[in-house]
Amino acid sequence: MSVIFAILIAAALLGLNAWLYVANKNTPVPEGCENLKPDCNGCGITDCTLRRKQEEH
């Protein structure tokens, strides 16, 4: 029974995460904030979304 609860909790959190991710992506960015650039450097995380944005610019 404990295993079923574990799976349910993990699935619920994963579902919540996926739903909020999609909802956040679909929420329009406020006017004037479309081209905000992070003032961030010195970090080695290569798969960071902000780093990719910086490289695109």
Calculate the alpha carbon distances from 21 to 17, 26, 51, 52, 55 in Å: 6, 9, 19, 18, 23
Q: Write out the binding residues for other proteins, residues 1-40 only, by CB under 8 A.
A: 2, 5-6, 9-10, 13-14, 16-17, 20-21, 23-24, 27-33, 36-40
Residues contacting 10, CB < 8 A, separation 6+ = none
Least gap, CB of 13 to other proteins (angstroms): 4
Q: What does the binding site for other proteins look like in residue numbers (CB under 8 A)?
A: 2, 5-6, 9-10, 13-14, 16-17, 20-21, 23-24, 27-33, 36-45, 48-50
